[in-house]
Amino acid sequence: MIFKKLVVGPLATNCYIFGSDVTKEVVIIDPGGDDDRIIKTIEELDAKPIAILLTHGHFDHTLKVGKIQRHYKIPLMYNKREMESGIFSHKEADNWLKEGDLIDVGDMKLHVLETPGHSPGSLCFYSGDVNEFENQKIDGILFSGDLIFRQSIGRSDFEGGDQNLLFSSIKNKIMNNKSLTDNFIICSGHMGLTSIGFERQNNMFKNYFL
Protein backbone atom coordinates (compact mmCIF):
# COMPACT_ATOMS: atom_id res chain seq x y z
CA MET A 1 0.00 0.00 0.00
CA ILE A 2 1.01 3.57 -0.67
CA PHE A 3 -0.33 5.79 2.09
CA LYS A 4 0.51 9.37 2.96
CA LYS A 5 -1.39 11.84 5.10
CA LEU A 6 -0.69 15.53 4.54
CA VAL A 7 -2.20 18.22 6.78
CA VAL A 8 -3.02 21.05 4.39
CA GLY A 9 -4.81 24.36 4.05
CA PRO A 10 -6.16 26.96 6.47
CA LEU A 11 -8.22 24.53 8.57
CA ALA A 12 -5.63 21.73 8.90
CA THR A 13 -7.43 19.31 6.60
CA ASN A 14 -6.12 15.81 6.09
CA CYS A 15 -5.33 15.15 2.43
CA TYR A 16 -4.57 11.51 1.67
CA ILE A 17 -2.53 9.91 -1.07
CA PHE A 18 -3.59 6.27 -1.28
CA GLY A 19 -2.91 3.47 -3.68
CA SER A 20 -1.01 0.42 -4.80
CA ASP A 21 2.67 -0.17 -4.14
CA VAL A 22 2.56 -2.73 -6.97
CA THR A 23 1.40 -0.49 -9.81
CA LYS A 24 2.22 2.84 -8.09
CA GLU A 25 -1.26 4.13 -9.00
CA VAL A 26 -2.78 6.43 -6.39
CA VAL A 27 -5.82 8.59 -5.76
CA ILE A 28 -5.66 12.01 -4.11
CA ILE A 29 -8.38 12.42 -1.49
CA ASP A 30 -9.47 15.96 -0.48
CA PRO A 31 -6.72 18.29 -1.79
CA GLY A 32 -7.69 21.20 0.45
CA GLY A 33 -4.49 23.24 0.19
CA ASP A 34 -0.72 23.26 -0.34
CA ASP A 35 -0.84 21.92 -3.88
CA ASP A 36 2.93 22.26 -4.30
CA ARG A 37 3.52 20.00 -1.30
CA ILE A 38 0.99 17.46 -2.55
CA ILE A 39 2.69 17.34 -5.95
CA LYS A 40 6.16 17.14 -4.39
CA THR A 41 5.06 14.25 -2.16
CA ILE A 42 3.64 12.34 -5.11
CA GLU A 43 6.90 12.81 -6.99
CA GLU A 44 8.88 11.58 -3.97
CA LEU A 45 6.66 8.49 -3.84
CA ASP A 46 7.22 7.96 -7.58
CA ALA A 47 3.44 7.53 -7.77
CA LYS A 48 0.99 7.83 -10.66
CA PRO A 49 -2.20 9.75 -9.75
CA ILE A 50 -5.30 8.43 -11.48
CA ALA A 51 -8.07 10.50 -9.86
CA ILE A 52 -9.05 13.13 -7.31
CA LEU A 53 -11.71 11.94 -4.85
CA LEU A 54 -13.74 14.29 -2.66
CA THR A 55 -15.41 13.14 0.53
CA HIS A 56 -17.49 16.33 0.34
CA GLY A 57 -17.44 19.81 -1.12
CA HIS A 58 -16.48 22.19 1.69
CA PHE A 59 -13.76 24.64 0.71
CA ASP A 60 -11.17 23.25 3.11
CA HIS A 61 -11.34 19.89 1.30
CA THR A 62 -11.48 21.24 -2.25
CA LEU A 63 -9.36 24.40 -2.37
CA LYS A 64 -6.68 23.02 -4.71
CA VAL A 65 -8.79 20.71 -6.85
CA GLY A 66 -8.27 22.85 -9.96
CA LYS A 67 -4.51 23.14 -9.67
CA ILE A 68 -4.02 19.44 -8.93
CA GLN A 69 -6.33 18.42 -11.77
CA ARG A 70 -4.64 20.72 -14.29
CA HIS A 71 -1.21 19.46 -13.25
CA TYR A 72 -2.00 15.77 -13.63
CA LYS A 73 -4.93 15.88 -16.10
CA ILE A 74 -6.87 13.33 -14.07
CA PRO A 75 -10.63 12.98 -13.42
CA LEU A 76 -12.45 14.54 -10.48
CA MET A 77 -14.93 12.28 -8.66
CA TYR A 78 -17.52 13.14 -6.03
CA ASN A 79 -21.23 12.90 -5.23
CA LYS A 80 -23.66 14.87 -7.38
CA ARG A 81 -25.70 15.99 -4.36
CA GLU A 82 -22.86 18.31 -3.39
CA MET A 83 -23.31 20.24 -6.63
CA GLU A 84 -27.13 20.07 -6.63
CA SER A 85 -27.23 21.43 -3.07
CA GLY A 86 -24.82 24.25 -3.88
CA ILE A 87 -22.22 23.03 -1.39
CA PHE A 88 -19.66 22.64 -4.20
CA SER A 89 -20.63 24.20 -7.52
CA HIS A 90 -17.23 25.23 -8.85
CA LYS A 91 -16.53 22.22 -11.03
CA GLU A 92 -18.61 19.29 -12.22
CA ALA A 93 -17.28 15.82 -11.62
CA ASP A 94 -15.84 13.84 -14.48
CA ASN A 95 -17.36 10.81 -12.77
CA TRP A 96 -20.24 11.13 -10.30
CA LEU A 97 -19.92 8.72 -7.39
CA LYS A 98 -22.78 6.92 -5.66
CA GLU A 99 -23.37 4.19 -3.10
CA GLY A 100 -21.90 0.86 -4.18
CA ASP A 101 -19.45 2.20 -6.76
CA LEU A 102 -16.00 0.61 -6.92
CA ILE A 103 -12.86 2.56 -7.73
CA ASP A 104 -9.93 0.51 -9.00
CA VAL A 105 -6.58 1.81 -7.78
CA GLY A 106 -4.09 -0.58 -9.29
CA ASP A 107 -4.62 -3.92 -7.55
CA MET A 108 -6.70 -2.31 -4.80
CA LYS A 109 -10.37 -1.39 -4.71
CA LEU A 110 -12.11 1.46 -2.92
CA HIS A 111 -15.81 1.02 -2.12
CA VAL A 112 -18.05 4.09 -2.06
CA LEU A 113 -20.54 4.78 0.74
CA GLU A 114 -23.04 7.63 0.73
CA THR A 115 -22.91 9.10 4.25
CA PRO A 116 -24.91 12.36 4.40
CA GLY A 117 -25.20 14.47 7.54
CA HIS A 118 -22.19 16.73 7.52
CA SER A 119 -23.25 17.73 4.01
CA PRO A 120 -25.89 16.30 1.65
CA GLY A 121 -23.45 14.44 -0.59
CA SER A 122 -20.80 13.33 1.87
CA LEU A 123 -19.02 10.11 0.95
CA CYS A 124 -16.76 7.61 2.67
CA PHE A 125 -14.33 5.32 0.88
CA TYR A 126 -13.11 1.99 2.23
CA SER A 127 -10.85 -0.84 1.17
CA GLY A 128 -10.54 -4.33 2.61
CA ASP A 129 -7.41 -4.93 0.54
CA VAL A 130 -5.15 -3.46 3.24
CA ASN A 131 -4.09 -5.95 5.92
CA GLU A 132 -1.18 -4.17 7.56
CA PHE A 133 -0.70 -0.61 8.77
CA GLU A 134 2.35 0.68 10.64
CA ASN A 135 3.43 -2.89 11.36
CA GLN A 136 0.05 -3.87 12.81
CA LYS A 137 -2.44 -6.32 11.34
CA ILE A 138 -5.70 -4.67 10.27
CA ASP A 139 -8.77 -5.64 8.25
CA GLY A 140 -8.94 -2.53 6.12
CA ILE A 141 -8.94 1.23 5.88
CA LEU A 142 -11.77 3.78 5.83
CA PHE A 143 -11.58 7.39 4.64
CA SER A 144 -14.40 9.07 6.53
CA GLY A 145 -14.14 12.74 5.57
CA ASP A 146 -15.88 14.83 8.22
CA LEU A 147 -18.39 12.15 9.24
CA ILE A 148 -16.55 10.82 12.28
CA PHE A 149 -13.34 11.85 14.01
CA ARG A 150 -11.23 10.42 16.80
CA GLN A 151 -13.58 10.58 19.81
CA SER A 152 -15.89 13.04 18.05
CA ILE A 153 -18.15 13.57 15.01
CA GLY A 154 -18.45 16.05 12.17
CA ARG A 155 -20.40 19.28 12.52
CA SER A 156 -23.95 19.39 11.25
CA ASP A 157 -24.72 23.08 11.73
CA PHE A 158 -23.44 24.13 8.32
CA GLU A 159 -25.76 24.62 5.34
CA GLY A 160 -27.07 21.22 4.27
CA GLY A 161 -26.08 19.55 7.52
CA ASP A 162 -28.42 17.30 9.49
CA GLN A 163 -27.39 15.85 12.84
CA ASN A 164 -29.95 13.02 12.84
CA LEU A 165 -28.85 12.04 9.36
CA LEU A 166 -25.20 12.17 10.44
CA PHE A 167 -25.85 9.80 13.35
CA SER A 168 -27.81 7.53 11.03
CA SER A 169 -24.93 7.45 8.54
CA ILE A 170 -22.43 6.51 11.24
CA LYS A 171 -24.72 3.83 12.64
CA ASN A 172 -25.95 2.22 9.43
CA LYS A 173 -23.02 2.75 7.04
CA ILE A 174 -20.10 2.30 9.46
CA MET A 175 -20.93 0.66 12.78
CA ASN A 176 -23.51 -1.82 11.43
CA ASN A 177 -21.85 -2.42 8.06
CA LYS A 178 -21.05 -6.12 7.75
CA SER A 179 -18.19 -5.33 5.36
CA LEU A 180 -16.41 -3.29 8.05
CA THR A 181 -14.91 -4.59 11.28
CA ASP A 182 -13.64 -2.98 14.46
CA ASN A 183 -10.15 -3.53 13.07
CA PHE A 184 -10.59 -0.99 10.25
CA ILE A 185 -8.43 2.11 10.53
CA ILE A 186 -10.40 5.37 10.20
CA CYS A 187 -8.66 8.16 8.30
CA SER A 188 -10.79 11.22 8.94
CA GLY A 189 -10.79 14.68 7.42
CA HIS A 190 -9.17 16.33 10.43
CA MET A 191 -7.11 15.30 13.45
CA GLY A 192 -5.50 11.93 14.03
CA LEU A 193 -6.21 8.41 12.88
CA THR A 194 -8.42 6.05 14.86
CA SER A 195 -10.31 2.78 14.35
CA ILE A 196 -13.92 1.64 14.27
CA GLY A 197 -13.40 -0.43 17.41
CA PHE A 198 -11.84 2.47 19.31
CA GLU A 199 -14.73 4.78 18.40
CA ARG A 200 -17.27 2.13 19.37
CA GLN A 201 -15.76 2.24 22.86
CA ASN A 202 -14.54 5.82 23.25
CA ASN A 203 -16.46 8.23 21.03
CA MET A 204 -18.27 10.80 23.18
CA PHE A 205 -21.34 10.49 20.92
CA LYS A 206 -21.42 6.69 20.81
CA ASN A 207 -24.83 6.44 22.51
CA TYR A 208 -26.34 8.22 19.53
CA PHE A 209 -25.01 5.87 16.86
CA LEU A 210 -24.63 2.45 18.47
Domain with residue 12: its CATH number is 3.60.15.10
For helices 65-72 and 35-44, angle between their N-to-C axes, nearest 10 degrees: 40
Q: Which of 45, 43, 50, 42 is nearest to 15 (CA)?
A: 42
Query: What's the domain range around 8?
Result: 2-209
Which 8-state DSSP code applies to residue 86? T
Q: What is the pLDDT of residues 182-208, one digit of tens each?
A: 999 999 999 999 999 999 999 999 999
The pLDDT of residue 39 is above 90: yes
The pLDDT of residue 90 is above 90: no
Q: Where are the alpha helices (DSSP H) in the chain?
A: 35-44, 59-62, 65-72, 80-84, 163-169, 196-202, 206-209
Mean local confidence (pLDDT), 130-149: 96
Q: What is the pLDDT of residues 104-118, one digit of tens each?
A: 999 999 999 999 999
Domain count, the chain: 1
Q: Is the pTM of this model over 0.95?
A: yes
